[in-house]
Amino acid sequence: MTSWMLAALAALAQDVKVEPLPEAAPPELAEAVRKELEPAALRVLRDGKPILDFWLGRAVPVQPATESLQLRYTELRAGTLVGAVKVHEGGADFKNQKYPAGVFTMRYGVQPEDGDHQGTSDTKDYLLLSPAAADAKPGGMSMEDLVKQSCKVVGRKHPAVIYLVRSETAAKAPAVARDEARNLFILECETGTSAGRLRLGIVVLGKAADH
């Protein structure tokens, strides 16, 4: 059996769940950012141990959705604050870049059209992580500034990213779905927006096929 198959079987054997966490966003976040977030969180557990806590936005600004083959979240503008996450232990992002434990903001970003990213994912929707201390203003941000800010998480020229997919299940959110074909665990959840609720599919475990 190949090493890839062994790794895939090990990942699929994991027990990954989500549960409500009645805690306000942590003090590491700026007060202006905390005010934009829900008063409680979603905790993702792996084999009974917490790995990620998510605070999603109360009223994330959105725009009318458009048709796109490469984007699944055209309602969101690049640079928009979507939420925050607490990482309980150091881990690796969707590009398999190592990052430390800590608290980070999450902003929507679009994968650029360049040779470094060719074929790394089916679509180009991501959440970019930024250190809580470096992201104190909840308003929009340019992709250039966001990338520079996110690069501080991993100390490299590439930002720290969480892959976003569109839900293909009818499960009531919040829930954790498993994409066995791509070896991904996906948090199905909803964030408040300026137009109601928006369902998100946040990849909480798994990485790009070429990593």
Q: What average pLDDT does this structure show over 140-161?
A: 92
Distance CA 139, CA 81 (A): 7
Residues 187 and 54: beta-carbon distance below 8 Å: yes
Structure confidence by residue, pLDDT tens digits, 162-173: 999 987 777 789
Which range is least confidently modeled, 58-62, 89-93, 108-112? 89-93
Q: Which residue has the higher pLDDT, 54 or 112?
A: 54
pLDDT(150) > 90: yes
- What residues contact residue 74 under an 8 Å CB cut-off, 6+ apart? 63, 65, 66, 67, 68
- What residues contact residue 84 under an 8 Å CB cut-off, 6+ apart? 25, 26, 29, 33, 37, 54, 55, 103, 104, 105, 106, 132
Distance CA 113, CA 11 (A): 30
pLDDT score, position 2:
30
| Confidence band, pLDDT 50/70/90 cuts, at residue 123 | confident
| Confidence band, pLDDT 50/70/90 cuts, at residue 210 | low
pLDDT score, position 180:
87
Q: What average pLDDT does this structure show over 69-81?
A: 96
Distance CA 65, CA 83 (A): 20
Which strands make up the sheet holding 160-165, listed edge to edge?
16-21, 41-46, 49-56, 81-87, 102-110, 125-131, 160-165, 196-205, 184-193, 175-179
pLDDT score, position 97:
83
Q: What average pLDDT does this structure show over 36-52?
A: 97
Q: Which residue has the higher pLDDT, 67 or 118?
A: 67
Residues 188 and 169: beta-carbon distance below 8 Å: yes
With tokens 């792996």, the residue in question is 46
What average pLDDT does the chain have?
87
Distance CA 206, CA 19 (A): 20
Distance CA 165, CA 163 (A): 7
- What residues contact residue 191 under an 8 Å CB cut-off, 6+ apart? 56, 57, 60, 82, 83, 197, 198, 200
